[in-house]
Amino acid sequence: MADYKMHLLVCGGTGCKASESEQVRDNLLAEVEKHDLSDEVQVVTTGCFGFCEKGPIVKVVPDNTFYVQVRPEDASTIVMEHLIKGRKVTHLLYKDPESEEPISDSKHMDFYKKQVRIALRNCGFINPEAIDEYIARDGYAALAKCLGEMTPQEVIDEIKRSGQRGRGGGGFPTGLKWEITSKSVADQKYVVCNADEGDPGAFMDRSILEGDPHSVIEAMAICGYCTASTKGLVYIRAEYPLAIQRLKTAIKQAREYGLLGENIFGTSFSFDISLRYGAGAFVCGEETALIHSMEGLRGEPTFKPPFPSEAGYLGKPTTVNNVETLASIPVIINKGADFFNSIGTEKSKGTKVFALAGKINNVGLIEVPMGTTLREVIFDIGGGIKGGKKFKAVQTGGPSGGCLTNSFLDTPIDYDNLIAAGSMMGSGGMIVMDEDDCMVSIAKFYLEFTLDESCGKCTPCRIGNKRLYEILDKITKGLGNEEDLTRLRSLCKVIKDTSLCGLGQTSPNPILSTLDNFYDEYLAHVRDHRCPAGQCKSLVKYTIDKDKCTGCTLCFRNCPVGAITGEKRSVHYIDNAICIKCGVCYEKCKFDAISVS
């Protein structure tokens, strides 16, 4: 075997692949070959590093050099300069956003300093398509330990003691869920991995499956052992082709090693996993709807109880766990419950992965201990707001969550605190908004999503949300009145109280939380017919300042609808009846003569 002195880790997550990381890897391989370094330098495709903002990422170990936004044509420079001459390629290094100083070692980047990676432990570190690399990182040792040294009940007790709660959004204690299934009596039981990640802006489950599929497979087998299930199913959305492909490869390798199949580790325990594809319906993340979809029925939720742990897939007891929940299980077994429950807050243990998106400098995937504050996440790890603008709100929990303002920035993040603050953990999407975002429009955006995704089974969700949307639409068009705000609130309450499943029960959250936190903004829309953020197009009016206009005709020439009139070298006018509020004139004017109101 070649004795490598250096490894080049190239990110192979979906984000980096979209910006040609495969070409980067191929070019690096070719350059390494060309300079006869194949025996010394290993080029490895890994999962997501989390720093998606600056992808594609190439990391050189052992010196931990972190190259960002690497283009395929940079490959020869990296090989020539770094590998052969030992000089770091400065222009590819990450630059500290404030001091502009290049940072070569990823350990010195604020982005990584505060992170604790448990679920993401192998993402960006191992090759997800090589089971050996997973095994080198203690992979399948937890399964071996469970099968060899522990009874199913002992494993369940360990998970219970770790305090882990479901990472998919509900926060139900994982150990308890397993225990209920283990106590249900049936000839066949199932383990289901819920990989139907549907929140807008959330991509942690995809990244785990792309970067470390074996951790999920191992955890499913452990769950199978605890609950006496022999069949595992992964319900994954068909829109995740790379995750599906890596998962398939991983399952195949695990079977070849005998880590899936009959008599695992020479014991009487047998377990195998197959995949089920979802068509990307948000409601199918709800466990009963997910199970119906897997059975070939319509993806509609049904009333609980009975819970899936008692009667789930094909009427048999079924444990449904989210990807991120499963990915942490091997660590809990290997390092012990005490390691896990020493991290986090009183009622939320361990770490949580968040997908940072929106108007934030470091868009990406992060994992922090429960109890980290929003301020640390947004300003330290996330690098603050884009373009130096002012922070306005952060949306957590996707369409079921709410918007949190400045006053919540120092709240430690955990399940209970977020609910008390009027939002929720959800699957971990975090969308950051700045002063240019109109909160009424944001609420409307989420409602539009829920409207699309409502399965239509129960009336409050199907019709109630439609009415909510209509009221919001009216308000953003400047046609609302103050009574609408009262109606909004009472309708929200009814939908929350009477909907069948989690989707309907939480769909009014974005409206309620914005009503609570940004009531002034709603008032401005209905009272003064004004949008303070200038985002609601119907409420915006562009006017030309007579004193400043020089009659250069630039706006006249650029207006796409011919709403501007005026002779050369004389003042121009905007006809607001024709204007479509595209803002082109405002951007083009060189004399600051156009104002928005």
Partner 1 sequence: MNKIKTLEDLKLLREGMQAKFKLRESGNNAENIVRIKVAMSTCGIASGAKEIMNFLIEELEQQAIEAVVTQTGCMGYCYAEPTIEVTVPGKEPIVFGEVDKHRAAEIIEKYIIHNELVDGILPMNYRTIDN
Name the residue among 540, 551, 590, 596 with its Cα closest to residue 573: 551
Q: For partner 1, give the closer residue by CB, 62 or 296.
A: 62
Verify binding: residue 315, partner 1, rule CB under 8 A: no
The 8-class DSSP code of residue 385 comes to B
Of residues 66, 94, 140, 449, which one binds partner 1 by CB under 8 A?
140
Residue with tokens 């803002």: 583
Query: Site for partner 1 (CB under 8 A): which residue of 49, 125, 271, 307?
Result: 125
CB of 44 to partner 1, least distance (A): 9
**Nearest CA among 427, 538, 508 for reference residue 197:** 427
| Residue 112 in the binding site for partner 1 (CB under 8 A) | no
6 in contact with partner 1 (CB under 8 A): yes
Place of tokens 């974005």: 510
Helix 323-335, helix 213-227: angle, nearest 10: 80
Give yes or no for residue 334 binding partner 1 (CB under 8 A): no
> Which ranges of 233-297 does DSSP label H, i.e. alpha helix?
241-256, 287-294
Residue written as tokens 């290094």?
Answer: 93
CA nearest neighbour of 413 among 444, 382, 445: 382
Q: Which stretch binds partner 1 (CB under 8 A): 81-89, 311-319, 477-485, 511-519?
A: 81-89
- Check binding of 135 to partner 1 (CB under 8 A): yes
| Minimum CB distance to partner 1 smaller for 59 or for 292 | 59
User: Least separation, in Å, of the C-beta of 283 and partner 1?
Assistant: 40
Cα first-last separation, the chain: 70
- Find residue 103's DSSP bridge partners: 94
Residue number with CB closer to partner 1 (144 or 584)? 144
User: Which lies closer to partner 1 via its Cβ, residue 99 or residue 407?
Assistant: 99
Alpha-carbon gap, residue 382 to 405, rounded angstroms: 16
Among 33, 63, 545, 575, binds partner 1 (CB under 8 A): 63
569 binds partner 1 (CB under 8 A): no
Smallest distance, Å, CB 328 to partner 1? 19
Query: What H or E segment, with its residue span, contains residue 208?
Result: helix 204-211
- Least CB distance to partner 1 at residue 61 (A): 4
Dihedrals phi, psi of 160, to nearest 5 degrees? -60, -45
C-alpha to C-alpha distance for 382 and 49, rounded to whole angstroms: 14
Contact 82, 89 (CB under 8 A): yes
Burial tier of 400 (Cβ tally within 10 Å: 0-12, 13-18, 19+)? buried
Q: Cβ closer to partner 1: 1 or 577?
A: 1
Binds partner 1 by CB under 8 A, chosen from 93, 116, 144, 554: 144
Count of positions on this chain that bind partner 1 (CB under 8 A):
34
The yes or no reply on residue 136 touching partner 1 (CB under 8 A) is yes
- Its sign, for the CA torsion 333, 337, 338, 339, is positive
DSSP-assigned states of every residue in 486-555:
HHHHHHHHHHHHH-SSHHHHHTTHHHHHHHHH-HHHHHHHHHS---TTS--GGG--EEE-TTT-----HH
If one asks whether residue 296 binds partner 1 (CB under 8 A), the answer comes out as no
Shortest distance in whole angstroms from residue 335 CB to partner 1: 16
Query: Binding to partner 1 by residue 573, rule CB under 8 A?
Result: no
What are the helix (H) ranges across 61-191?
75-77, 110-113, 131-136, 141-149, 152-162, 174-183
Nearer to partner 1, 36 or 497 (CB): 36
Among 33, 64, 456, 541, binds partner 1 (CB under 8 A): 64
Minimal distance, residue 59 CB to partner 1, in Å = 9
Smaller CB distance to partner 1: residue 262 or 520?
262
Q: Which of 110, 129, 133, 179 binds partner 1 (CB under 8 A)?
A: 133
In the complex with partner 1, which residue's Cβ is closer, 148 or 315?
148
Shortest distance, position 150 Cβ to partner 1, whole Å: 13
Q: Which residue has the tokens 């996993």?
A: 273
How far apart CA 235 and CA 299 sit, in angstroms, is: 12
Our finding on whether 117 is near partner 1 (CB under 8 A) is: no
Minimum CB distance to partner 1, residue 247 (Å): 19
Coil vs helix vs strand at 435: coil
| Distance in Å, CB of 90 to partner 1, minimum | 11
Window 218-257: residues binding partner 1 (CB under 8 A)? 256-257
The residue (of 41 and 579) whose beta carbon lies closer to partner 1 is: 41
Helix, strand, or coil (residue 104): coil
CA-based torsion, 89, 91, 97, 102: positive or negative: positive
Of 43, 57, 70, 259, the residue at the interface with partner 1 (CB under 8 A) is 259
- By CB under 8 A, is residue 61 in contact with partner 1? yes
Q: Is 86 in the site for partner 1 (CB under 8 A)?
A: yes
Tell me: does residue 7 bind partner 1 (CB under 8 A): yes
The tokens for 344 are: 């986090």
The reply on whether position 258 binds partner 1 by CB under 8 A is yes
Q: How far is C-alpha 187 from the chain's CA centre?
A: 37
- Single out the residue of 132, 338, 410, 575 in contact with partner 1 (rule: CB under 8 A): 132
Q: Are strands 65-67 and 58-61 parallel, antiparallel or unpaired?
A: antiparallel
Task: Please identify which residue in 34, 91, 183, 265 interacts with partner 1, judged by CB under 8 A.
Answer: 265
Which stretches of the chain bind partner 1, using CB under 8 A? 1, 3-7, 9, 61-64, 84-88, 125, 132-133, 135-141, 144, 148, 256-259, 265-266
